Structure 1
């Protein structure tokens, strides 16, 4: 890790006007002086198929794995569909978890955030994403569930418009950054 952590923001929504992507883009602006955040869209990532998970996996899946591997930590931004996460985000985690025990997500610090135009902010999707990341061997950040209700009123034109929401989300990112620094320190000391 360099002095500027590299964060990969994975948007779990394929929609052009995605709130998940908007939140990640707002975070990119808010973190400009602290970390490098790259937003990864899942639109081209092939559905996971173990038959295609060979030495040369499909191109978009390989790009996703490489982006996860190159990042110091990941932020997974999920919408909530039918009380759960999107199929696209679950698929991304499946690709990132393979090969078993050696996937790009293994040991990777991961922060989960959800958002919704509704009043719950996608909170019901949180447990699914956290559990799946844990199964993949990620280091899920222990922080209060980051859920943004009425997200369309709190993120506009690529920036946070609500200071309370911005502070809450940045608190979660700070916890992610601390975990990244602790891991880098442990690695530097051979732990």
Structure 2
């Protein structure tokens, strides 16, 4: 069985280390696993029930839901902004949670990873992303974690895809996520 993982990156910055981490996941995905780096989170409006009306959902939100609907699992990449996850990632989770109980994220496997400048690598933000995804109905892998500290210095001259320790850790996360998604599909 082929597994399709949708990667959502909580940083919109072009040179984001979390985006680079997602690129590393795409590059090093094992055979039988396709990781799609979702483009377009910046275009998704803030969730508003007034906008979420059948037949008139904003195109960017509908596209996100469509892409998520065909995914087997999600890999969320979260930096830490002021001690929590970025609004763009929370917004994506909000859109994917609706309609509640039947949203595109409901029942699907989710792992959360990331990197941040601080000494803990963004663990608070990643914990918040796990919580939000779980409340949204996802099957969150609570024990699958990868928090890489010191991103500004660690990745100043080295792309995460070229960091053997990062590649090994990402492979473990992707492997566990794939196993979980495959077991859930049976």
TM-score of the two chains, using structure 1 as the length reference: 0.89
Q: Tell me, in whole angstroms, the C-alpha distance in 1 between the residues paired with 2:171 and 2:116.
A: 18
> 1:151-170: per-residue Cα shift (whole Å, max 9, x none)?
35258676523222221222
Provide the residue aligned with 2:44 in structure 1.
Answer: 45
Provide the residue aligned with 1:163 in structure 2.
Answer: 164
Provide the residue aligned with 1:8 in structure 2.
Answer: 6
Provide the residue aligned with 2:83 in structure 1.
Answer: 83
Provide the residue aligned with 2:181 in structure 1.
Answer: 180
Structure 2 residues not aligned, in runs of 5+: none
- For CA contacts below 8 A with separation 6 or more, give which structure has more relative contact order: 2
SS state at 1:145 partner: strand
Contact 2:111 2:145 survives alignment (8 Å) = no
Q: Tell me, in whole angstroms, the C-alpha distance in 1 between the residues paired with 2:57 and 2:163.
A: 41
Q: CA RMSD in A?
A: 1.7
Q: Tell me, in whole angstroms, the C-alpha distance in 1 between the residues paired with 2:156 and 2:73.
A: 23
Structure 1 residues not aligned, in runs of 5+: 186-191
Q: Tell me, in whole angstroms, the C-alpha distance in 2 between the residues paired with 1:145 and 1:8.
A: 17
Q: CA separation of 1:91/1:108 partners in 2, compared to 1, >3 Å: closer, same or farther?
A: same
Moved >3 Å (runs of 4+): 154-159
Provide the residue aligned with 2:74 in structure 1.
Answer: 74
Contact 2:112 2:144 survives alignment (8 Å) = no
Q: CA deviation at 1:144?
A: 4.1
TM-score of the two chains, using structure 2 as the length reference: 0.91
User: Which stretch of structure 1 is more off in the superposition, 24-33 or 131-140?
Assistant: 24-33
> 1:131-180: per-residue Cα shift (whole Å, max 9, x none)?
11110010001324211112352586765232222212221111100011
Q: Tell me, in whole angstroms, the C-alpha distance in 1 between the residues paired with 2:183 and 2:157.
A: 34
Provide the residue aligned with 1:189 in structure 2.
Answer: none
| Corresponding residue pairs, total | 183
Contact 1:154 1:165 survives alignment (8 Å) = no
Q: Tell me, in whole angstroms, the C-alpha distance in 1 between the residues paired with 2:156 and 2:25.
A: 10
Q: Tell me, in whole angstroms, the C-alpha distance in 2 between the residues paired with 1:29 and 1:174.
A: 14
Contact 2:111 2:144 survives alignment (8 Å) = no
Q: Tell me, in whole angstroms, the C-alpha distance in 2 between the residues paired with 1:4 and 1:151.
A: 32
> 1:35-55: per-residue Cα shift (whole Å, max 9, x none)?
111111311111111000011
Provide the residue aligned with 1:188 in structure 2.
Answer: none
